[in-house]
């Protein structure tokens, strides 16, 4: 962990013994390789938080699957190709819904979250359409 004036950096790795393949849901513990992921998380005490995660790429034991390897995902923290944690994405989505694009980006900047209006509007567009009533 490194704490600076404006940011906090946490170095992490998974302690799980195995992870499930996203296609066949078969668990695997055979490690193909390691790679570095950098995720942004919610700010703490006015400081930006960056998670440096040492992730594993695992070999799938199912020969019939479409992928030979799969990247490990940590529940409630990571998603495929995401650069933000799920918690930060939820917080930014709430800001976008209540404030909109420009005003939400200004508020986010004051909260030590670097984002733009187009990102906030994209989060609104990514939401599922609400069910219509009778």
68 & 94 share domain: no
Residues 116 and 89 placed together within one structural domain of the fold: yes
Please report whether residue 134 resides in a domain: no
60 and 116 housed in the same domain: no
Quick check: 33 pLDDT over 90?
no
Closest CA to 29 of 57, 68, 55: 57
Q: Mean pLDDT throughout 35-48?
A: 91
Residue 132 falls within a domain, yes or no?
no
Looking at residue 104, its pLDDT comes to 95
Tokens of 60: 């799938």
Confidence of residue 65 (pLDDT cuts 50, 70, 90): low
Domain for residue 54, yes or no? Answer: yes
21, pLDDT greater than 90: no
Task: With beta carbons less than 8 A apart as the criterion, state whether 72 and 35 touch.
Answer: no
The answer on 67 and 90 residing in a single domain is no
Q: Would you call 133 helix, strand, or coil by DSSP?
A: coil
pTM of structure: 0.78
Q: Are residues 67 and 3 in the same domain?
A: yes
One domain, residues 8 and 67: yes
Beta-strand relationship, 19-20 and 27-28: antiparallel
Among candidate residues 33, 47, 41, the one with its CA nearest the CA of residue 12: 41
Looking at the 3D structure of the chain, how many domains does it have? 2
Q: Are residues 94 and 65 both part of a single domain?
A: no
* pLDDT tens digits, 73-119: 787 888 888 899 999 999 999 999 999 899 999 999 999 999 999 99
Could you give the CA distance from residue 71 to residue 68 in angstroms, rounded to a whole number? 11
CA distances from 64 to 28, 60, 96 (A): 15, 10, 42
Residue 124 tokens, joined? 């609104």
Domain that holds residue 119: 84-127
| 69: nearest Cα among 35, 101, 115, 116 | 35
* pLDDT at residue 113 in the model: 92
The answer to whether residue 14 is domain-embedded is: yes
On whether both 52 and 109 belong to a single domain, the answer is no
What single DSSP character describes residue 84?
B
What's the mean per-residue pLDDT of the chain? Answer: 85
């Amino acid at each position: 962990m490194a704490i600076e004036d404006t940011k906090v950096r946490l170095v992490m790795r998974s302690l799980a013994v195995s992870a499930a393949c996203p296609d066949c849901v078969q668990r695997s513990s055979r490690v193909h390789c390691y790679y570095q992921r950098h995720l942004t998380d919610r700010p703490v005490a006015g400081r930006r938080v960056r998670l440096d995660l040492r992730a594993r790429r695992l070999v799938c034991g199912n020969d019939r699957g479409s992928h030979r390897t799969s990247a490990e995902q940590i529940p409630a923290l990571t998603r495929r190709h995401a650069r933000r944690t799920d918690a930060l994405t939820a917080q930014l989505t709430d800001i976008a819904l209540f404030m909109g694009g420009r005003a939400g980006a200004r508020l986010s900047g004051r909260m030590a979250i670097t984002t733009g209006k187009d990102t906030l509007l994209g989060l609104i567009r990514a939401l599922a359409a609400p069910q219509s009533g009778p």
